[in-house]
Amino acid sequence: MRKALLKMELLAATLLLTVAIAGTPSLFRKIHSLQDASRIYHLAIQELSNHMESLTRMSPSNCEEALDSIVVSAELKQQIPESSIRGQITQDGDAWKIVLSIQLPVQHRSEPIQLIGWLFDGEKL
């Protein structure tokens, strides 16, 4: 039975350890960016919910006006400068459909996040 290691074996083990250690910083960076992306996603959802809450309290004509001038809140803009929001309202039978979408920077999410709300005519319900 051998009592020692060959230099070649030690060299190979050291090389493997070096490669493993060298790969970890990028993994830590990835974890950090994923956590940040998750925070940004939640903020975007909250932004859409805040706007939708206000819009669903309006009449369809006021809602259309508000959608023409809709902008991302100053606080969110400060955190995510490249974010933008837009929305549209369409009539669907007796109801009005409001579609809000927020576009985040590509590094966080390439597709816009959408939230759909409905306005019903109280008199017809």
Stretch that binds other proteins, among 35-43, 88-96, 97-105, 106-114 (CB under 8 A): 35-43
| Closer by beta carbon to other proteins, 25 or else 93 | 25
Stretch that binds other proteins, among 56-64, 81-89, 92-100, 110-118 (CB under 8 A): 56-64
Residue 47 in contact with other proteins, rule: CB under 8 A: yes
Residue 39 in contact with other proteins, rule: CB under 8 A: yes
Residue whose entry in the numeric block shows the structure tokens 């493993």? 20
User: Which one, of 65, 73, 66, lies nearest residue 44 by Cα?
Assistant: 73
Q: Nearest 10 degrees: CA dihedral of 105, 67, 116, 123?
A: 170
| Closer by beta carbon to other proteins, 60 or else 112 | 60
Residue whose entry in the numeric block shows the structure tokens 């929001």? 85
H or E element at residue 4: none
